[in-house]
């Protein structure tokens, strides 16, 4: 047992050994220590190859442990190595610069909007060439929604999904927006509409959640389209309303008794 103290005179730390006898056996390995979990060069190569194959980090970790039963690597080490891979691929470019370079390299259709008082990009929207082709062939039903906390910048990611004539879905386009305000939705939907070569072939049905700014924008930009709320969100709202309307009156009745 060891106790530490700070000397007021010298302002230095000292140690007092109260009991120099070990009360437990020495651990045979460095399990739990950061050095024990670091990746070897062969492991790093496996992480790089599996990352290129779009394998999830947890599955990469399982693969490593299957190949090395005594591997002490944790999921944090896998994430750190993946981060180093992305930094090496990006080089001197910023994240947004690297994104735009990849969009141009793979012939994506993309649009961006900058702030009026600066050159900072405020919103960006992109679509794969195949998605643009499918969108022009199957523009009947659109599904729109935003995801949250999916990137380090905490920006909402707006996604447009299309339904084909065989009831299959595919992603039309994606967009990062700074805010979920009406002006942001207006810009994103205008860019989505630009993907259509024929302005007469507009969506017949657009499914969204209960985002009022988005619903208002759809009514202005797609006046002939039928706007419909998502069944999942509608069911969740009905369930929540039933709980509120039924629970509290029951508690009041029970209280009166």
The band of 39, judged by pLDDT with boundaries at 50, 70 and 90, is: confident
What CATH number does the domain containing 165 carry?
3.30.420
In a domain, 70, yes or no: yes
pLDDT tens profile 142-190: 888 888 766 777 788 899 999 888 888 899 999 988 888 888 889 999 9
What six digits make up the tokens of 77? Answer: 């080490």
Percent of the chain with pLDDT strictly greater than 70 = 81
Long-range own/partner contacts, residues 84-89 (CB < 8 A, 24 or more apart) = 85/47, 85/48, 85/51
Phi-psi domain of 65 (left: phi exceeds 0; alpha: psi -120 through 50; beta: other): alpha
Phi-psi domain of 126 (left: phi exceeds 0; alpha: psi -120 through 50; beta: other): beta
Are 120 and 156 within one domain? Answer: yes
Check pLDDT > 90 for residue 114. no
Are 19 and 40 within one domain? Answer: yes
Per-residue pLDDT, averaged over 2-26, amounts to 78
Q: What is the pTM of this model?
A: 0.67
Check pLDDT > 90 for residue 5. no
Check pLDDT > 70 for residue 256. no
Are 126 and 152 within one domain? Answer: yes
Mean pLDDT lowest among 11-20, 62-71, 90-99, 229-238: 229-238
Q: Is 225 helix (H, G, I), strand (E, B) or coil?
A: coil
Are 12 and 54 within one domain? Answer: yes
Per-residue pLDDT, averaged over 42-67, amounts to 91
Mean pLDDT, the chain, rounded, equals: 82
Check pLDDT > 90 for residue 127. yes
In angstroms, the CA 250 to CA 255 distance is: 8
Are 106 and 174 within one domain? Answer: yes
Are 104 and 42 within one domain? Answer: no
- Which pLDDT does position 3 carry in this prediction? 80
Query: Which position has the token pair 């060439």?
Result: 129
Phi-psi domain of 220 (left: phi exceeds 0; alpha: psi -120 through 50; beta: other): alpha
CB contact at 8 A, 88 and 51: no
Q: What domain range is 6 assigned to? A: 2-90
Check pLDDT > 60 for residue 254. no
The CA R_g of the chain, rounded to the nearest whole Å, is: 28
Total Cβ atoms within 10 A of residue 71 = 17
Are 77 and 117 within one domain? Answer: no
- Which pLDDT does position 132 carry in this prediction? 94
In a domain, 243, yes or no: no
Check pLDDT > 70 for residue 68. yes
The band of 192, judged by pLDDT with boundaries at 50, 70 and 90, is: very high
Per-residue pLDDT, averaged over 209-238, amounts to 77
Question: 178 CB contacts (<8 Å, ≥6 apart)?
Answer: 122, 123, 155, 184
In a domain, 246, yes or no: no
Are 64 and 103 within one domain? Answer: no
- Which pLDDT does position 125 carry in this prediction? 94
């Amino acid at each position: 047992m060891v106790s530490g103290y700070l000397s007021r005179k010298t302002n230095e730390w000292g140690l007092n050994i109260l009991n120099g006898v070990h009360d437990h056996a020495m651990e045979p390995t460095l399990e739990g220590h950061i050095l024990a979990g670091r990746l070897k060069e062969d492991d790093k190569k496996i992480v790089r190859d599996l990352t290129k194959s779009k394998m999830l980090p947890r599955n990469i970790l399982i693969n490593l442990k299957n190949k090395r039963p005594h591997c002490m690597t944790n999921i944090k080490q896998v994430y750190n190595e993946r981060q180093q891979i992305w930094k090496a691929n990006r080089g001197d470019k910023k994240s947004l610069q690297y994104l735009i370079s990849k969009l141009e390299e793979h012939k994506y259709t993309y649009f961006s909007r900058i702030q009026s008082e600066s050159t900072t990009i405020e919103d960006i929207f992109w679509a794969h060439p195949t998605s643009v082709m499918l969108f022009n062939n199957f523009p009947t039903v659109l599904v729109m929604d935003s995801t949250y906390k999916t990137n380090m910048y905490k920006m909402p990611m707006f996604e447009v999904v299309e339904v084909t004539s065989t009831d299959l879905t595919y992603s039309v386009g994606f967009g990062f927006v700074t805010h979920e305000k009406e002006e942001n939705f207006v810009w994103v939907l205008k860019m989505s509409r630009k993907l259509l070569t024929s302005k007469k072939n507009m969506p017949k049905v657009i499914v969204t959640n209960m985002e009022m700014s988005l619903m208002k924008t759809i009514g202005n930009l797609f006046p002939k389209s039928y706007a419909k709320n998502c069944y999942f969100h509608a069911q969740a709202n009905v369930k929540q309303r039933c709980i509120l309307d039924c629970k509290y009156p029951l508690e009041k009745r029970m209280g009166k008794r």
